[in-house]
Amino acid sequence: MKKLPIGYQLYSARREAEQDLLSVLRTLAAQGYDGVEFAGFYGRSAGEISAMLKETGLQAVSSHVGLHLIEADMQGTIDFHKAIGCAYIAVPYLMDDRRPGTPGFASVIRTVNTFGRMCRENGIQLLYHNHDFEFAPFSGMYGLDFLYEAVCPEILKTEIDTCWVKYAGEDPCAYLRKYAGRAPVVHLKDYVGRREGGAAPYGLLGQEEAKANAGVAFEFRPFGYGCQDAAAVVNAAIDAGAQWVVVEQDESVGRAPLEAAEMSIGTLKKLGLK
């Protein structure tokens, strides 16, 4: 299997990172991770973040930045990420009133076009990270596909979250290969359970986590310990031309997040990814 650098989405250990970011980074480096994807900076300056990355030898792979924060200060967002050496910025989520099929979705496309061009001019690539709601039909196709068709591939690339693709009822391997050449960063995420009506089993950055309906047996798991075919997903990411794979686990049940992180990278080591 082709070797690929492995990143870790810090949202997975957000409470620990809030308390002691440097300790979390040291642990991840010791476990064998090559980089991290940020989801906020816990009040740290670009200089402080850079110093932590330098000490631990980790790269700033990417960063999830809410659309409202991007729109509030596009150039400032870019400048901060350039200062920490971050190659990718990802739009992580859309609020209900800005999703495909709503009047607000047109403004999302405008923002992505404008900000994506600015990023490109500054040596950063803009990505879009999906959940499952983008797999509702819109204009004869999935909303996610509509977004990717509406924006030039050089301006917006994919950050396919393999968990939510599968949860939405699609094959994550086929979906990755569909976007071969446009999938530089791939989220590796595993779970057990099923899709059912009601609240989605994920939360929003900076807000209380939404919970699945009582009785719905959904649970996030370390990668390789759930329903995903780990080897097939990793091979599909390689076939799609991924430059990075990023482990994410929204919630860790029954163990500390960094223990789950070690289990996930253990799966990738066994697969020969590094």
143-153: pLDDT as tens digits: 999 999 999 99
Q: Among positive and negative, which fits the CA dihedral 111, 160, 170, 209?
A: negative
> Mean pLDDT throughout 34-49?
98
Check residue 2 and give its pLDDT.
Answer: 87
The yes-or-no verdict on residue 194 having pLDDT over 90 is no
180 has a pLDDT exceeding 70:
yes
Would the pLDDT of 212 be above 90?
no
Cβ contact 214:225 at 8 Å:
no
pLDDT, one tens digit per residue, over 4-17 is: 999 999 999 999 99
| CA distances from residue 11 to 50, 125, 142 in whole angstroms, order as listed | 18, 20, 27
* pLDDT averaged over every residue in the chain: 93
* pLDDT tens per residue, range 128-164: 999 999 999 999 999 999 999 999 999 999 999 999 9
- Average pLDDT (187-202) is 77
Q: Mind giving me the DSSP string for 70-120? A: HHH-HHHHHHHHHHTT--EEEE----GGGSTTSTTHHHHHHHHHHHHHHHH
Give the pLDDT confidence score for residue 166 in this predicted structure.
Answer: 96
pLDDT, residue 204, reads 40
Q: Is 137 helix (H, G, I), strand (E, B) or coil?
A: strand
Q: Tell me the domains of the chain and their CATH numbers.
A: 6-270 (3.20.20.150)
Sole residue written with tokens 């009785």: 215
Total length of the chain = 274
Res. 88: pLDDT tops 50: yes
pLDDT value of residue 209: 39
